C-alpha cells in the first residue's frame, strides 16, 4: 500500500526527514526561496500534509484547494500568522506549530540586539573596517548602560519570560505588559506589572517586544508610542514586524526622538534594501534569525515532523493549534 503524501516547502535537517520518511512519501522543495503560491495550492490538493515555514501563506485559497485531501499542516515555527485558522478549522484541517523549543534562543538574540544597539557594537565594527580607528579618545562611540536600566517586556509568554530571566542577570528593573497578569512570576522573578502600556513605555529605558501578532497588536507601536518613549530609550523587536509601524519608527529615529532600535523582524519582510531606515546609524536589523541556532532549528524541524507523524499514526498531536 502506498504511503500518504507530504509536501515540505524547504530543505530540512535529516533527522526530521527521517521521521517523515517512516510514515509518508515526502516531496521536498529543493530551492532556497519559497515555493510559488500556485505550487502550494496544487500540493494542498494532492497531499495529506504540508510542512511549511512562516513565509508560506496557508490562506483560504490553499485550504479550499486541499479541502478533500489535506488533513494537517505543520509550521516550522512557533508563530502562525501565515495560517488562516478559521478556514482550516471549518474544513477540518489540523494546524500545528513548534512551541517551547525556541524560547531560549530567541531570548538570546533579543539581548544580543539590545547590546548591539546600546553599546554600538555594529557601529564599532564598521568604524574599524572603514579605517577610522586611528587613535583612542574617551568620547568615541559612547553607548548606554544596560545594567540597572528599566526594561519593559511587552508580552510575557515563553520568550518574554526568558528575556526577563536574562535581564535579571543584568540587574535591570523589569516591568511587563501582557494580556494576563502573572502574579506567580512577579513573586518569583521580582518583576512589576503595568496594566496600561503607555505607563510602561514612558518609564522604560529599553523595550523588548515579545507579543504575538494579531489584530490587537498590529502597529501596537506607532507615532503616539514613540512620542511617549524617552529620548534616550531603545526598542527591540524579535516578535513580528507589523507590531511596529516602520514609517513611524523611521521618523522617530531620524529625528532622534528615540535613541535607537534593533529588530529581527520588519514590515515588509524582507525589508527592501532601499528603505530609508537602512541609512540610519541608530538602527540595527537582522534577517529574522531569532531561532537560528543549529540545535534549535533541528529541534524545531523534528517537532514539526512529529506533529505530522502523530496524525498519520493516529496518536495525540503534540502541538495542535486548532484541534
25 is catalytic: no
Least Cα distance to 85 among 62, 102, 116 occurs for: 62
Catalytic residue among 27, 61, 173, 269: 269
38 is catalytic: no
288 is catalytic: yes
Its sign, for the CA torsion 308, 313, 319, 321, is positive
Instruction: With H, G, I as helix, E, B as strand and everything else as coil, classify residue 20.
Output: helix
How would DSSP label each residue in 201-255?
Answer: HHH-SEEEE-PPPSTTTTT-BSHHHHHHS-TT-EEEE-S-GGGB-HHHHHHHHHT
Catalytic residue among 288, 295, 297, 309: 288
C-alpha 62/C-alpha 115 separation (Å) is 41
The owner of cell 564598521 is 126
Instruction: With H, G, I as helix, E, B as strand and everything else as coil, classify residue 164.
Output: helix
Instruction: With H, G, I as helix, E, B as strand and everything else as coil, classify residue 89.
Output: helix
Least Cα distance to 21 among 56, 63, 54, 49 occurs for: 49
Instruction: With H, G, I as helix, E, B as strand and everything else as coil, classify residue 310.
Output: helix
Least Cα distance to 64 among 39, 82, 90 occurs for: 90
- Maximum distance among all Cα pairs of the chain, rounded to whole angstroms: 75
φ, ψ of residue 125 to 5 degrees: the values are -60, -45
225, three cell numbers: 508610542
Residue 8's DSSP bridge partners are: 28, 51
Catalytic residue among 240, 275, 297, 309: 240
C-alpha 149/C-alpha 118 separation (Å) is 11
CA 199 remoteness from chain centre: 25
Q: Catalytic amino acids?
A: 240, 269, 288
Amino acid at each position: 500500500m502506498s504511503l500518504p503524501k507530504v509536501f515540505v516547502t524547504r530543505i530540512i535537517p535529516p533527522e526530521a526527514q527521517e521521521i517523515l520518511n517512516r510514515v509518508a512519501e515526502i516531496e521536498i522543495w529543493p530551492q532556497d526561496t519559497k515555493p510559488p503560491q500556485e505550487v502550494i495550492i496544487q500540493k494542498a490538493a494532492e497531499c495529506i500534509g504540508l510542512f511549511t515555514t512562516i513565509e508560506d501563506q496557508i490562506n483560504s485559497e490553499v485550504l479550499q484547494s486541499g479541502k478533500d485531501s489535506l488533513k494537517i499542516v505543520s509550521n516550522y515555527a512557533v508563530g502562525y500568522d501565515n495560517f488562516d485558522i478559521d478556514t482550516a478549522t471549518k474544513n477540518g484541517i489540523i494546524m500545528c506549530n513548534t512551541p517551547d523549543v525556541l524560547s531560549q534562543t530567541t531570548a538570546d538574540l533579543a539581548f544580543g540586539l539590545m547590546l548591539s544597539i546600546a553599546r554600538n557594537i555594529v557601529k564599532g565594527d564598521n568604524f574599524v573596517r572603514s579605517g577610522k580607528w586611528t587613535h583612542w579618545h574617551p568620547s568615541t562611540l559612547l553607548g548606554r548602560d544596560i545594567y540597572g536600566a528599566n526594561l519593559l517586556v511587552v508580552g510575557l509568554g515563553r520568550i518574554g519570560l526568558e528575556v526577563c530571566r536574562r535581564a535579571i542577570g543584568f540587574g535591570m528593573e523589569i516591568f511587563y505588559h501582557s494580556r494576563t497578569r502573572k502574579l506567580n512570576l512577579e513573586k518569583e522573578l521580582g518583576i512589576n506589572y503595568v496594566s496600561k502600556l503607555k505607563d510602561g513605555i514612558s518609564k522604560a529605558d529599553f523595550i523588548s517586544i515579545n507579543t504575538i501578532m494579531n489584530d490587537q497588536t498590529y502597529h501596537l507601536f506607532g507615532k503616539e508610542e514613540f512620542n511617549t518613549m524617552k529620548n534616550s530609550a531603545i526598542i527591540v523587536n524579535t516578535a513580528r514586524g507589523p507590531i511596529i509601524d516602520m514609517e513611524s519608527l523611521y521618523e522617530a529615529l531620524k529625528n532622534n526622538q528615540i535613541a535607537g532600535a534593533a529588530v529581527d523582524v520588519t514590515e515588509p519582510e524582507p525589508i527592501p534594501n532601499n528603505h530609508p531606515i537602512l541609512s540610519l546609524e541608530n538602527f540595527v536589523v537582522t534577517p529574522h534569525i531569532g531561532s537560528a541556532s543549529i540545535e534549535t532549528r533541528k529541534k524545531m524541524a523534528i517537532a514539526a515532523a512529529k506533529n505530522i507523524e502523530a496524525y498519520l499514526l493516529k496518536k495525540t498531536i503534540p502541538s495542535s493549534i486548532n484541534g
